[in-house]
């Protein structure tokens, strides 16, 4: 396979990062695009000289096949996934999909089952797994006695995309945005044992500094227990109007503090030394895309750090946290 022929499903903001990756790759050709907003699909098509332009993924799938596409990259809003992945599985087309992959956990489980049964190559957009800083944390942890407290946080304002305003369309900040740090916790510490979560509303005033339909959580806190005596507290907040809160992970071990500043730098601190490492300049989405393209070309999936079935477990974690917020109960995974 000289060039991987890509179909882009969704040409909005997140899609742009993938498009920038593909523009740098000689072995990739975007041959079809789909987006319900004409301006976006036309703009994306012009980037690649693409002439197969569709209104949505249904139209794309109805007119394309495994003979015309080697893979699809799916970047659509959380509520738009009714059959976007199922059609790809049925047609045998490998796919990379952005998170959250759906608002329906049962449908995510169904897609995961179909993917496992067919052996289809998949990848999910947890690009932080591809950061060199993340690799350094994974390399460092085994050098120390396991166990400790982890504090994770993603605090800021309300992004401009429409689905963020309602919990029913975004799942709340933990599902829509802070799922990245939830996934990072799984990547570093393994599968969770339990989660207990709370949430609060009342700081953000609907119709004042957000949509009148706003009904998601202003902030939430999830306490996640892992094996080997690790307990993580993961906080999410979208109420901040000014200033910049600490975002990232602070891992307090017996003999070291690992301070990961979200997508910026990493500090290793002991009684004897402090190392501060800046992140690499390249967009880590490039490494995510590169691993997927390599798998499609060669069949070697070893560079993919989260396929669909693995990503299911991260979605089960954050959906369980939402269940705990509603019930007030601890949710156990084992």
List average pLDDT for each run of 10 residues in the chain, which is 334 residues long: 93 96 97 98 97 98 98 97 98 98 98 98 98 98 98 95 94 98 98 98 93 95 97 97 93 98 98 97 95 98 98 98 98 92
Strands 192-200 and 148-155: unpaired
Helix (H, G, I), strand (E, B) or coil at 36: coil
Q: List the alpha helices (DSSP H) in the chain.
A: 13-23, 38-48, 57-63, 84-91, 105-118, 132-140, 167-170, 173-176, 179-189, 285-298, 308-327
Give the residue carrying structure tokens 């975004």: 170
Q: Which two tokens stand for residue 269?
A: 């601190």
In whole angstroms, what is the distance from residue 131 CA to residue 208 CA? 38
> Hunting for tokens 């060199």 — which residue is that?
132
**Count of C-beta atoms within a 10 Å radius of residue 334:** 7
CA-to-CA separations, 82 to 76, 102, 148, 178, in angstroms, rounded: 11, 8, 40, 23
The helix (run of H) or strand (run of E) holding residue 39 is helix 38-48
* Spatial distance between the Cα atoms of 224 and 90, rounded to a whole number of angstroms: 36
Which residues, 6 or more positions from 12, have their beta carbon under 8 angstroms from its beta carbon?
35, 37, 40, 75, 76, 161
pLDDT at position 244, please? 86
Inter-residue contact 103 to 79 (CB < 8 Å): yes
Query: Where does residue 237 rank: exposed (0-12), middle (13-18), buried (19+ CB within 10 A)?
Result: buried
Q: What is the pLDDT of residue 229?
A: 97
Helical axes 84-91 vs 105-118, angle rounded to 10°: 10
All domains in the chain, ordered by first residue: 4-120 (3.40.50.720), 128-281+316-332 (3.30.360.10)
**Phi, psi (deg, nearest 5) at residue 54:** -125, 155
What pLDDT shows up at residue 2? 83
Alpha carbon distance 55, 105 (integer Å):
26
Residue 147 is encoded by which pair of tokens?
Answer: 């166990």
Task: Please list the residues that pair with 251 across neighbouring strands.
Answer: 150, 258
Give the pLDDT confidence score for residue 221 in this predicted structure. 98
Cα–Cα distance for residue pair 63/303, rounded to 1 Å = 31
CA distances from 3 to 93, 166, 182, 267 (A): 15, 41, 35, 40
- CA atoms within 13 A of residue 271's CA, in its CB half-sphere: 3
Is the full-model pTM beyond 0.95?
A: yes
Q: Indicate left, alpha or beta for 333 from its phi (over 0: left) and psi (-120 to 50: alpha).
A: alpha
pLDDT at 305: 98
C-alpha dihedral, 98 to 104 to 110 to 115, nearest 10°? 0
């Amino acid at each position: 396979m000289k060039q991987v022929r890509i179909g882009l499903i969704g040409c909005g903001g997140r899609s742009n990062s993938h498009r920038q990756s593909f523009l740098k790759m000689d072995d990739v050709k975007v041959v079809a695009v789909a987006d319900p907003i004409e301006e976006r699909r036309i703009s994306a098509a012009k980037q690649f000289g693409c002439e197969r332009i569709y209104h949505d993924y249904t139209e794309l799938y109805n007119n394309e096949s495994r003979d015309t596409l080697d893979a699809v990259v799916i970047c659509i809003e959380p509520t738009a996934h009714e059959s976007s992945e199922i059609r790809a599985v049925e047609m045998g087309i490998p796919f990379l999909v952005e998170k959250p992959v759906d608002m329906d956990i049962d449908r995510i489980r169904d897609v995961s089952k179909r993917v496992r049964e067919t052996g289809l190559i998949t990848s999910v957009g947890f690009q932080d797994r591809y950061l060199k800083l993340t690799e350094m944390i994974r390399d460092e942890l085994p050098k120390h006695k396991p166990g400790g407290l982890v504090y994770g946080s993603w605090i800021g304002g309300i992004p401009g995309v429409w689905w963020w305003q309602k919990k029913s369309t975004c799942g709340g900040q933990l599902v829509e945005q802070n799922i990245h740090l939830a996934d990072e916790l799984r990547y570093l510490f393994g599968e969770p044992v339990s989660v207990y979560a709370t949430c609060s509303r009342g700081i953000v005033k609907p119709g004042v500094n957000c949509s009148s339909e706003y009904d998601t959580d202003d902030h939430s806190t999830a306490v996640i227990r892992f094996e080997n005596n690790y307990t993580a507290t993961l906080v999410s907040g979208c109420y901040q109007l000014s200033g910049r809160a600490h975002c990232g992970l602070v891992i307090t071990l017996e003999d070291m503090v690992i301070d990961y500043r979200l997508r910026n730098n990493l500090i290793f601190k002991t009684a004897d030394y402090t190392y501060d490492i800046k992140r690499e300049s390249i967009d880590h989405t490039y490494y995510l895309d590169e691993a997927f393209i390599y798998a499609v070309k060669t069949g070697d999936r070893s560079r993919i750090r989260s396929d669909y079935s693995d990503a299911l477990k991260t979605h089960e974690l954050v959906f369980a946290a939402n269940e705990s917020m509603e019930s007030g109960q601890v949710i156990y995974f084992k």
